[in-house]
Amino acid sequence: MNDQNVQDFAIDTVEAYEALSRRVKALEEQIAAQNEWPRVRVNVKQLAKGELRFDTTYEDRGVTWEEALAESDKLVAACLVRYPVPEAG
């Protein structure tokens, strides 16, 4: 391979990488636009003793910290009603 071929290959590689990067960015933007907000996740686990434990996540855009915490608190309260923590002893 001569110097010109190496240079052409390098240019082609850079152009291909840049084109791929632009395509990936466009796809990421499409995916982000399709995601619905707010995002609410509840993960319920059953422990060996039969107890249920839960983890919650609340994500939203364009809300204040206080609004997000209030929604998260509602989510936790609903989970506590559905999956009460057994009393110790």
Domain boundaries, the chain: 1-35, 36-89
Q: Is the bond leading into 38 cis (omega within 30 degrees of zero)?
A: yes
In the prediction, which pLDDT does 6 show? 64
pLDDT value, residue 26: 86
Kindly report whether the global pTM for this prediction surpasses the value 0.75: no
User: What does the alpha-carbon distance between residue 69 and residue 58 come to, in Å, rounded to a whole number?
Assistant: 8
Write down the pLDDT at residue 86.
73
Give residue 1's pLDDT: 65
Per-residue DSSP letter, 55: E
What span, in angstroms and rounded, lies between the C-alpha atoms of 89 and 86? 9
- In degrees rounded to 5, what are phi and psi of residue 56? -125, 155
Binned average pLDDT, 10 residues per bin, the chain of 89 residues: 71 81 84 78 87 88 92 92 77
